[in-house]
């Protein structure tokens, strides 16, 4: 295989992942365990807190659903939602069956148990973020088909690839810059995937049996950076924008781009550098031979390959112009009001246009299995939304813990930030987490007499920590399919980073956030 040929890194050509002994064990027990959990919850167990919620505490959509179904059927719908949610969670974690098949099963299960009407369940495939993902794959294919991605990868390695450290640091810069322009983490992952796959191959890592710590670090740290750098800017993802709008509605004034960046960017940069240190120095330290390019002929061959490409072709120029125009429209949406999805639509149409465009449909690499997984995640989110199960559960937990009216700020801060960041292990939707935990933080702040910003903003800054398990986000599933790391690798690195991030949000709350006037007298 020519490791410099970008077409070898199409999603459909990625090798089937080889499973470790632990993953094989999970694979064996996953399906029967999911069935047992579903049957126990749906037919046997009686979940007390689902009988004791207050109707007025439900969201407006859930109240309407309650009035439509009646009390008993609404409770049954919540029990079904809980059973389906936990069973799907087990199947996604254990990979007992393919992730896309789990999604298809949960969609029909939500319909058959009357949690969601058919129209709403099936409509999630047409979600605007789904379209943005599809269109992002088209645009990434444009960069590969025209040779722009290969040219950039070769130039990048020749310019920065003299040692591993410079490669890692360069990707940190690239991810931070792209986060300013691209408001979809899947789009960033799609664009960067062929580039860092080539870079990894040059350093001797082609996945599967040819894994090495350079490849583990490069792919896992890109996954971390893709998500955390998105958290640095309010425009970094739709979930950030949603959280900012919820907070703005509660405080009566807008959360501006600079306000968010001032609080979030330093935290994101610190976490990215901690991730780089822990990955390359602690969890996956590089051997001496992994610190230098392993390609036959070394850097001279790469320089020769770049020279062979010659001057920019007209098709490459067109691809660069289209992509640059898309980036420009994405970052200036506040002025023209065109949504990121609509912008991507226009770019994809131009890129595919006969004679005018630069890519043909049979050159487009769209991983439909990933999109089916996404459709299932969004449908699950719709079910959680209409039943208000997460809010009911969180309120029951707060009541059970018995928070008194004089509960100190630090207890609330620790509880809310902990719940937000570790909820990323089980929720597949950043938007859903923003819709659940930001309003809860606002309600808790109001209930205990603290500033809304003091609790809601720190909680919102933890939205993007979705990098531990493959099903936690679409970029996580996409990069997991490269087979550069195992489930154990990603859990070890990602779970550790969750704890680091929680510690950092506490430290920032005690120091920097207090300096900015976000937290009153610090956390403690």
Share of the chain above pLDDT 90, in %: 32
Mean pLDDT of 459-484: 89
Say what the pLDDT of residue 467 is.
92
Report how far residue 198's alpha carbon sits from residue 181's, in angstroms, rounded to the nearest whole number.
24
* Count of the separate structural domains present in the chain: 1
Q: Is 210 helix (H, G, I), strand (E, B) or coil?
A: strand
Domain assignment present for 292: yes
Domain assignment present for 226: yes
With 80 as the cut, is the pLDDT of residue 299 above it? no
The single residue listed with the structure tokens 């903003």 is: 457
Domain assignment present for 206: yes
Q: How far is CA 409 from CA 134, 249, 418, 511, in A?
A: 44, 23, 14, 15
With 70 as the cut, is the pLDDT of residue 203 above it? yes
Instruction: Tell me which range, 80-94, 126-140, 178-192, is most confidently predicted by mean pLDDT.
Output: 80-94
Say what the pLDDT of residue 470 is.
87
Nearest one of 462, 472, 467, 464 to 504, comparing CA atoms: 462
Say what the pLDDT of residue 183 is.
66
Say what the pLDDT of residue 331 is.
67
Domain assignment present for 494: no
When the pLDDT of each residue in the chain is averaged and rounded to a whole number, the result is: 85
- pTM recorded for the entire structure: 0.75
Domain assignment present for 80: no
Say what the pLDDT of residue 422 is.
94
Domain assignment present for 345: yes
Say what the pLDDT of residue 453 is.
93
Of 237 and 37, the one with more pLDDT: 37
Domain assignment present for 33: no
Say what the pLDDT of residue 491 is.
93
Mean pLDDT of 369-381: 81
Of 149 and 484, the one with more pLDDT: 484
pLDDT in tens, 106-155: 999 999 998 999 998 999 888 777 887 788 788 888 888 888 877 887 78
Handedness of CA 134, 434, 181, 306 (dihedral sign): negative
For residue 278, name the pLDDT band (cuts at 50, 70, 90): very high
Give me 74's structure tokens: 């609404």
Length of the chain: 524
**CA count, 13 A, side-chain hemisphere, 108:** 6
pLDDT in tens, 204-252: 888 778 889 999 999 999 999 999 999 998 877 878 877 887 888 788 7
Of the listed ranges 85-99, 258-272, 424-438, 509-523, the one predicted with least confidence: 424-438
Domain assignment present for 318: yes
With 80 as the cut, is the pLDDT of residue 360 above it? yes
Angle between helices 185-202 and 213-230 (to 10 degrees): 160
What residue numbers bound the domain in which 315 lies?
A: 128-365
């Amino acid at each position: 295989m020519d490791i410099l040929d970008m077409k070898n890194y199409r999603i459909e050509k990625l090798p089937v992942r080889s499973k470790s002994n632990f993953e094989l064990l999970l694979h064996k027990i996953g399906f029967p365990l999911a069935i047992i959990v579903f049957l126990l919850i749906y037919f046997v167990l009686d979940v007390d807190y689902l009988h004791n919620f207050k109707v007025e505490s439900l969201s407006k959509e859930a109240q309407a659903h309650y009035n439509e179904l009646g009390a008993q059927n609404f409770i049954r719908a919540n029990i079904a939602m809980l059973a389906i949610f936990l069973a799907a969670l087990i199947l996604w974690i254990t990979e007992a069956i393919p992730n896309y098949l789990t999604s298809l099963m949960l969609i029909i299960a939500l319909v058959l148990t009357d949690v969601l009407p058919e129209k709403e369940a099936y409509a999630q495939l047409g979600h605007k973020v789904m379209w943005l993902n599809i269109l992002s794959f088209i645009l990434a294919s444009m960069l590969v088909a025209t040779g722009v991605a290969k040219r950039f990868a070769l130039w990048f390695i020749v310019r920065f690839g003299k040692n591993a450290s410079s490669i890692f640091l360069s990707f940190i810069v690239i991810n931070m810059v792209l986060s300013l322009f691209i408001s979809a983490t899947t789009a960033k992952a799609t664009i960067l995937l062929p580039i860092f796959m080539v870079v990894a191959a040059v350093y001797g890592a082609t996945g599967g049996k040819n894994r090495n710590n350079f490849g583990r670090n490069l792919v896992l740290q890109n996954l971390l950076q893709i998500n955390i750098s998105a958290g640095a800017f309010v425009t970094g993802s739709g979930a950030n924008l949603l959280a900012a709008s919820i907070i703005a509605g509660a405080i009566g004034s807008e959360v501006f781009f600079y306000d968010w960046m001032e609080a979030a960017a330093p935290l994101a940069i610190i976490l990215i550098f901690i991730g780089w240190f822990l990955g390359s120095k602690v969890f996956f330290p590089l051997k001496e031979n992994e610190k230098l390019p392993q390609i036959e002929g070394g850097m001279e061959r790469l320089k020769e390959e770049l020279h062979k490409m010659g001057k920019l072709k007209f098709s490459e120029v067109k691809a660069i112009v289209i992509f640059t125009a898309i980036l420009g429209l994405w970052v200036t949406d506040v002025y023209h009001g065109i949504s990121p999805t609509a912008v991507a639509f226009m770019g994809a149409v131009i890129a595919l246009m006969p004679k005018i465009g630069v890519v043909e449909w049979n050159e487009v690499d769209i991983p439909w299995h990933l999109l089916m997984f996404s459709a299932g995640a969004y449908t699950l989110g719709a079910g959680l939304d209409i039943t208000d199960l997460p809010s009911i559960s969180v309120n029951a937990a707060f009541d059970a813990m018995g928070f008194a009216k004089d509960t100190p700020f630090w207890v609330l801060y620790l509880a809310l930030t902990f719940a937000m960041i570790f909820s990323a292990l089980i929720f597949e939707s950043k938007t859903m987490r923003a819709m659940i935990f930001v309003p809860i933080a606002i309600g808790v702040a109001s209930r205990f007499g603290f500033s809304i910003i003091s609790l809601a903003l720190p909680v919102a800054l933890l939205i993007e920590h979705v990098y531990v398990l493959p099903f936690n986000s679409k970029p996580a599933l996409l990069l997991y399919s490269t087979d550069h790391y195992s489930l154990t690798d990603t859990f070890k690195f990602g779970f550790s980073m969750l704890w680091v991030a929680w510690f950092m949000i506490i430290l920032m709350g005690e120091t920097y956030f207090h300096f900015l006037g976000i937290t009153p007298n610090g956390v403690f």
